[in-house]
Amino acid sequence: MPYFDHSATTPIHPKVLKIMMDVAQHNFGNPSSVHASGRKSNAIIEEARRTIATAIHASPSEIIFTGGGSEANNMVLWSLIQSNKKHVVTSSIEHPAILTVLEKLEPLGISFTVLPVNHQGRVNPKILEKSIQSDTGLISIMMANNEVGTIQPITELIEITHNHGIPFHSDAVQTLGKIPLSVQDVQADFMSFSAHKLYGPKGVGFLYKRKGLPLSPLIIGGGQEGKHRAGTENVSGIAGMGEAARLASENLSKRMNHLEALETVFITHLNRECHNAVINGCPNHHLPGVISASFPGYKSDILLAKLDRLGMEVSSGSACGSGSIKPSPVLEAMGISDSQNISTLRFSFGRDNTEQEVIKLVKALGQFANG
């Protein structure tokens, strides 16, 4: 069954699964225990920490293991309660793990400004600078969008932020393993990641925290993760994430070339088969293999269901529920009309997809959209 929804989640890489199974079967010790079994589990965690740090060019002490990208986002945002500066600047196309959290924090004294994006989904750095207030304590803007694949002018946004002496956080969940990523180049202060987006397991992720920056714990209890995140660590999950990060880093060029080739095939055949299709996002700054396409006159949930019956799995560009279609907030923020919004599908390719599968997908779309 061809799977074209890798921005939602990815299948576990066989090498990752092998390591996880081995750790789960043979290394059951609590990493906080001082006996041999505990020390061995702790060594596995620290090896994964070093591997992940190498993948993003960070120091191992700057990696904090979490239960996923959403938890990493929450850690940074909830920590603001302890800050003297409680104003946050974010963008209108952030994941709910940013925007919904900020709404929850409002009654606790956190205020926030939501920046608009242009028709391609990018933040204007000049608008960011104008939005900074005397009490701004954090800028949080995602590195790349999960729906349309648009990559933000992240280095320029961070430079402006740092010129004002403000820390910068980025939800970078969609980036690792898809584009080159070095914290030395990006210079963000906090970055959130999730294992299941890079052929690792679900339920585990990490937060990059630049050395020396304060961060209050979200989960309080034991002293795990340098007292930043209490709770017995998910040893097999962390080991799997470490291997996934290693594979992503070592095979990045090959993966990017593969995704770019699939994207080219998709768009070339789409132009032939579906003359009215519209590609959303930023053509010059986007994740390889992530395509948001609208099919005017056809509702996305109907197209999705027809493809699903053919065994082709894609994602809707809108949130569907209880028989009605709600326009995607991301596409709305980009100024896309409701009629185009609810006719949008997202295609996100992966390492196992082939050109033949993509051609078959587009031919099916052509039959549905032109039928």
Q: Which two tokens stand for residue 105?
A: 């924090």
Torsion angle defined by CA atoms of residues 157, 159, 162 and 164, in that order, rounded to the nearest 10 degrees: -80
Strand ranges inside the chain, DSSP E: 63-66, 87-91, 111-115, 136-140, 168-171, 190-194, 205-209, 278-280, 290-294, 315-316, 319-321, 324-326, 344-348
Q: How far is CA 344 from CA 32, 263, 286, 309, 332, in A?
A: 48, 17, 17, 18, 12
User: 230, 256, 279, 320: which is the annotated catalytic residue?
Assistant: 320
d(CA 257, CA 261): 6
Q: Which two tokens stand for residue 111?
A: 């205020």
DSSP per position, 326-361? E--HHHHHTT--HHHHTTEEEEE--TT--HHHHHHH
One-letter identity of residue 21? M
φ, ψ for residue 148, nearest 5 deg: -110, -10
One-letter identity of residue 66? T
d(CA 186, CA 184): 6
* Residue 320 annotated among the catalytic residues of the structure: yes
Q: Which two tokens stand for residue 252?
A: 């990045």
Taking the alpha carbons at both ends of the chain, their separation in whole angstroms is 24
One-letter identity of residue 357? E
Residues 6+ apart with CB under 8 A from 144: 150, 151, 152, 172, 174, 175, 178, 179, 286, 287
d(CA 235, CA 241): 10
* Residues with catalytic function: 320
